[in-house]
Chains A and B, each alone.
Chain A
């Protein structure tokens, strides 16, 4: 991986030259955009805390995929969840190369489409052409253009009108070991009055801190059509020396409801960008974030709520807990456009610093272009409240236990929001990290 230089993509490798003309054109346009666009300037606040050089790649050095030993266990566990009926379906995506689906027969009978993107391009051509690259494309940014040019294969989901899927669909995306490069891509269209819960889990990556990192650059496009209800849960638990980049964009239509939960625990360096665009009256978005960093992890999260239409509502609650020498930068923008009257938007960012050496940056931003709004945001940074620790200690609880209880309380209401079968696992990650205090 290249550390200080902006390497161009010489050409689209032949195996990506497949598919219809429009797709080829999109890939070429993305490649052009990537080669043309300079690296983002560090003076722009979105890149102030993270070096963009870390997200460029040198494909010459990229190696063939090999996967982490722990992967099989996770796959087995989720297959069990599927058997027990806790999941509606399971998809496994190994570096965008091997994609398998489990338990989708029932769903396809209902008219639901779950397939690889390459298959969807052939079988559901109109749908894919209409939605793919609409939210994350060569204009979004340099690294989004990189994904747009080089994604190998991805996952496509379409939930038809009036169809409700009660249980979550779980996507297991696994990255390769050191020096591997992957570009996962996800496109979901939730039809009118349909309902979907999806868990998008990113694991794998290079384990050994002394080795070259693995590189993952993902793109997620989500469409919530009229009256639909979508719950998207992103879990990032990559290995300790992985480099991870993700851009997520969702478009919410009339009276539709969008819930986004991001759970970030892994990777050496990760930059997540979550954006929800409220496109028609009655659209509502709730976003919850939980980030728990330890060791020398570096997290950079950005959230965006863009109110393009009036009578839309949004709410963000982003929580950060840091131990050891972990660093987090959070920037969140609420933008209310000139024509978007009667909007309500709230944003909350809380940062808990558990050790000396942790660092937290927070920039909650507001851009309000009309007067008919109700908007507020709040941000706090600090250690565990000592008076709370004192109270618990006075009840006979040890200092460490008291701190753990308070941190558990801090993260608990976010954990409660995620589907049941995932809760246990998230709790384990929290407990693991609490051992670092």
Chain B
């Protein structure tokens, strides 16, 4: 590796230092509507009117706002950071001038530039089934390959989905994550904008992964995307979401809600890599429902943001359902990755596996917060949880807060966690083979992350390795 990597490393230098120049680009703000900061029923009414939504949705938004206002800020987790977030100092809705685009050529030049800097390869753009790029709070670009349409797959941004397939949306919207679930889910329900709506008809196997890129691009702007994926009986789909965002001086909030529904025998894999800049609060609710013999897999990577609170969940509601969650977190100085996983076994013969890997570096803090709940009727269920934490640096912190609630005896539940630093003898071995300590450390960290990276599409894996390399720069001593 050495020479070329070193050159590359020097070029990119420490991620945090020149993040603004490399990734923190942002275009001059040019908004059609910026509204006022803060939230009240007027803002919600305005959003709903501008979107020309059906009445039931407007009502849902207002109800959710009341719930949001009545719920206190969570009293658990990193309450210190949570209390620093000023919810009144945020724009809850913005709409770019651009109208919906349907082909790549129509996408405005400056947005294309943004994607270039993000390094989305040309080949990938062609191969992806549909690119739904969320810019600001609304989708500005959306294309779908004809063969997907032919199969009857609906892949739209959430707003268009609501306009065109109102009945389908109404049937499933908020059924997995009701507004009452938590404060931030209530907030999202009342001001959501953008996100993806995906419906796979019965028996359809989507051969290529579907992706959406989006980024935040205005100061103090929250992004409240709402994603709803329905995989009908026996269908299969892999959805990928990844993001990076520019740096701004004041805190910004990202609070998405992602609902997945896997009907009988369906398979959904949802992959996210989150790399928000280090001033963003990422408070996301992700939950899936797996019906009879269905499988849902969350592959969840958390690299960026200031505070992330994200606990992907699978509810196993049908017999024989399976849930798998693979979660990876990397916390550098100033970051708290409060990530985890939840599995609810609510039917017999269900099985689940949680694998969590975290790295805390410098003054970073990574927490695993998880829940395995086995209900009374979920006999013959199996659940296993494995948490690995790696600490790099004297001030690094790692927490493990797993919860297991078992309400019946015909189950098998296992939990295991380990916390340690990079082993001296491994370093010694590698350096004795001629690697520098830096290289050896990187190799060990990459090995630690491998169970995660190998689940990613190639280009993501490459990108992730490069990011880890950047983060690991000069970590010796």
A interface with B by C-beta (< 8 Å): 41, 43-45, 338, 351, 353-383
Contacts and interface: CB of A to CB of B under 8 A. Distances in A.
Nearest to B422: A371
A383 B393 CA distance: 41
B7 interface: no
In this complex, the member of B398, B415, B419 whose beta carbon has the largest number of chain A beta carbons within 10 angstroms is: B419
A355 B409 CA distance: 6
7 contacts: A353-B406, A359-B405, A361-B406, A363-B404, A371-B392, A378-B414, A382-B413
A48 to B, nearest CB: 8
Contacts, number: 117
Interface in B377-428: 389, 391-421
B75 interface: yes
Nearest to A351: B406
Given A366-B398, A378-B416, 5 more contacts: A43-B75, A361-B404, A364-B415, A368-B389, A381-B411
A365 B419 contact: no
Contact of B391 (A45, A360, A373, A379): A373
Contacts of A370: 391, 394-397
Given A368-B419, A376-B419, A363 B401 contact: yes
Contacts of B399: 365-368
Tell me the dominant secondary structure on chain B's binding face: strand
Nearest to A356: B409
Contact of B401 (A44, A365, A382): A365
Contact of A353 (B402, B405, B409, B418): B409
A364 B411 contact: no
A366 B400 contact: yes
Given A43-B76, A377-B416, A379-B414, A359 B407 contact: yes
A89 B409 CA distance: 43
Contacts of A374: 419-420
A381 B417 contact: no
A381 B413 contact: yes
A166 B399 CA distance: 40
Tell me the dominant secondary structure on chain A's binding face: strand
A356 B408 contact: yes
A335 to B, nearest CB: 9
Nearest to B75: A43
B397 A368 contact: yes
Nearest to A382: B412
B21 to A, nearest CB: 31
B402 A379 contact: yes
Interface residues of B, number: 34
Interface in B351-398: 389, 391-398
Contacts of B402: 363-365, 379
Contacts of B416: 376-379
A376 B398 CA distance: 12
B80 to A, nearest CB: 15
B208 to A, nearest CB: 40
Interface of B: 75-76, 389, 391-421
A372 B392 CA distance: 9
A381 B345 CA distance: 14
In this complex, the member of A360, A368, A370 whose beta carbon has the largest number of chain B beta carbons within 10 angstroms is: A368
Nearest to A349: B415
A379 B415 contact: yes
Contacts of A359: 405-407
Contacts of B393: 371
A144 B418 CA distance: 33
B475 to A, nearest CB: 11
A172 B405 CA distance: 35
Given A363-B404, A366-B398, A381-B406, A373 B411 contact: no
A383 B409 CA distance: 6
Contacts of B411: 353, 381-383
A381 B382 CA distance: 10
B414 A360 contact: no
B79 to A, nearest CB: 12
Contact of A365 (B389, B400, B406, B420): B400
Contacts of A367: 397-399
Nearest to B369: A365
In this complex, the member of A351, A355, A359 whose beta carbon has the largest number of chain B beta carbons within 10 angstroms is: A359
B403 A361 contact: yes
B75 A360 contact: no
A368 B301 CA distance: 22
B404 A379 contact: yes
A137 to B, nearest CB: 25
B223 to A, nearest CB: 28
Contacts of B418: 375-376
Nearest to B400: A366
Contacts of A372: 394, 421
B419 A366 contact: yes
Contacts of B415: 362, 364, 377-380
Nearest to B410: A383
A364 B419 CA distance: 13
A169 B237 CA distance: 67
B71 to A, nearest CB: 12
Of all A-B residue pairs in the complex, the 7 with the closest CB atoms, nearest first, are A353-B409, A371-B391, A366-B400, A381-B413, A371-B421, A375-B419, A379-B415
Nearest to A378: B416
In this complex, the member of A362, A363, A364, A381 whose beta carbon has the largest number of chain B beta carbons within 10 angstroms is: A381
Contacts of B412: 380-382
Nearest to A352: B409
Nearest to A379: B415
B417 A358 contact: no
Nearest to A327: B407
Contacts of B406: 351, 353, 359-362, 381
A118 B419 CA distance: 46
A359 B421 CA distance: 36
Contacts of B413: 379-382
A300 to B, nearest CB: 13
Nearest to B391: A371
A45 B394 CA distance: 29
Given A43-B75, A383-B409, A366 B417 contact: yes
A47 to B, nearest CB: 12
A375 B420 contact: yes
Contacts of A44: 76
B282 to A, nearest CB: 22
B421 A373 contact: yes
Contacts of A364: 400, 402, 415, 417
A212 to B, nearest CB: 29
In this complex, the member of A358, A372, A375, A383 whose beta carbon has the largest number of chain B beta carbons within 10 angstroms is: A375
A369 B391 CA distance: 9
A226 B181 CA distance: 52
A371 B396 contact: yes
Contacts of A361: 403-406
A367 B407 CA distance: 27
A377 B417 CA distance: 5
B420 A373 contact: yes
A39 to B, nearest CB: 15
A361 B417 CA distance: 17
A354 B404 CA distance: 17
B476 to A, nearest CB: 13
B442 to A, nearest CB: 17
B133 to A, nearest CB: 40
In this complex, the member of B392, B396, B406 whose beta carbon has the largest number of chain A beta carbons within 10 angstroms is: B406
A374 B389 CA distance: 11
A366 B406 CA distance: 21
A41 B391 contact: no
Contacts of A379: 402, 404, 413-416
Contact of A354 (B397, B409, B417): B409
A45 B370 CA distance: 13
Nearest to A359: B407
